[in-house]
Amino acid sequence: MTWSRRLKMLLAPLGLAAFLLQASVTAVEYTSDGIAIVGTTEPLDVEVAAGANREDLISYEFASYIAVHFSSFNLPDGDSVVLSSPNENITVRHTYTGRGRDQSGTFIASFIPGNSATITYISVGEASAGQGYKITGFSRGYPTKREETICGDGDQTLPAKCYAPGTNLSEGLPQAYTKAQAVARLLINGTYMCTGWLAGSEGHLFTNQHCFEQRDWTLTTDFEFGAESTSCSDMCATQLGCAGKIVATTATFIADSEDIDYSVVKLPDCVDLSAYGYLQMREAGPTLNESIYVPQHPDGYAKRIVSTIDGGDSTTIRSVGEDGDCGKAQVGHDADTMGGSSGSPLLSSSDNLVVAIHHCGGCTNTAVDVRTVLADLASKNITIQHLVASSDGDQKQRPPDNHNEYDDNSNPDTRSDDHSSEGDAIPDACDDVERHQQDEHDGDSGPDDHSSEGDAIPDARSDDHP
């Protein structure tokens, strides 16, 4: 039985379900730690042997994105798999060669916006027995309509563009928009959303440990910068809306602490981050009642900034050093946040330095004191160039840390509460970045000629999930 016939028989019932069912629209779900769950995984069992060009389609009605899951990915030299959208207005493409993302053989591909993804296999090399790939499933984004759960009179976050130079808000916070450029939207493992931010001058990125709860999730994360609306009036309140630039699809784990709830990774050295700048931590930490602002990606939306509470008063640090349900020596604040805001920096309105890292929501928000993070990094002998500044803005010069490029003894599945690392293996990470960036420039083009069996993976739906 040919692969195409077997595939059509396998997916016919799913296609019928897709035809009969309507997508349910639900509120955003969250993990117990407050991470926004913006999608779910649908199973597939598709095996492709290397050596013959083909093009296949995964489609799921009303999905906001598709991220294909591969295993046993092993292509001959010169062969490639290109993921793209059949919608000509969506020019995002991702190309994988060899053993795929991070050269791991088993991975979740970067997402394709919209409800469909085309999988194009281009064969030019000589195939050996056993080469090819398997599609084991796909992540699909939930429909973006949702119910809000902001406390008080309403959501006080605004599109980042409302703070751009020349706006009314920029008069009081002239550096807020520029500083917010260092903030990234993270799609983790195909289904989770968090916020991260560049810190120090060497390409390090901070977020919460509960965002990278499993260490190897750093290898399957899309790090997206510049995801913001075009104007202050454009809310862009949709998950993964107003696409920015995915500058990296993998990162090196550096250190974390489950108790403190922070994680720091390092983006590949080949990535040009100069357009985004970087943030610094205040050596003295937060001050009670000081005004703050918080750039973030709530629920995976386009970047937003909050600097006021209901009534127009400034958002402030409400407590410092208090123990509570979210941990010890916490920083309390009153800035509006939602799931997906986990990992966002709290910046002082006076000196634009990071004083805390948001990590626990609800109507009483708490954050991690940067002094706790700095103490933990010091205990692990980890230093980051230009990470720290004193309250008067002077930079604390710290020598760059020297990380090994490969650690044969690393085991991403074995974790203790606290971790530090001299650098986990990211083979060919820069090659992946270069391919991804080239795809962004060539998004409208496709292979000139490939044979296809015309197989579609039609609206592969299940009524088990919203």
Q: Do 3-143+439-457 and 158-420 come out as alike in CATH topology?
A: no
Q: What is the pLDDT of residue 362?
A: 64
- The phi and psi torsions of 172 (rounded to 5 degrees) equal -85, -25
Distance CA 189, CA 449 (A): 32
pLDDT-derived band at 33 (thresholds 50, 70, 90) equals: confident
pLDDT-derived band at 399 (thresholds 50, 70, 90) equals: very low
Q: Give the N- to C-terminal CA distance of the chain in Å, as an integer.
A: 34
pLDDT-derived band at 395 (thresholds 50, 70, 90) equals: low
Distance CA 370, CA 383 (A): 14
Single-letter code of the amino acid located at 221: T
Residue scoring higher pLDDT (296 or 460): 296
CATH 3.30.450 fits 3-143+439-457, yes or no: no
Residue 177, H or E segment: helix 176-180
All structural domains of the chain with their residue ranges? 3-143+439-457, 158-420
Q: Model's pTM, two decimal places?
A: 0.78
CATH 3.40.50.2020 fits 158-420, yes or no: no
Q: What is the pLDDT of residue 35?
A: 83
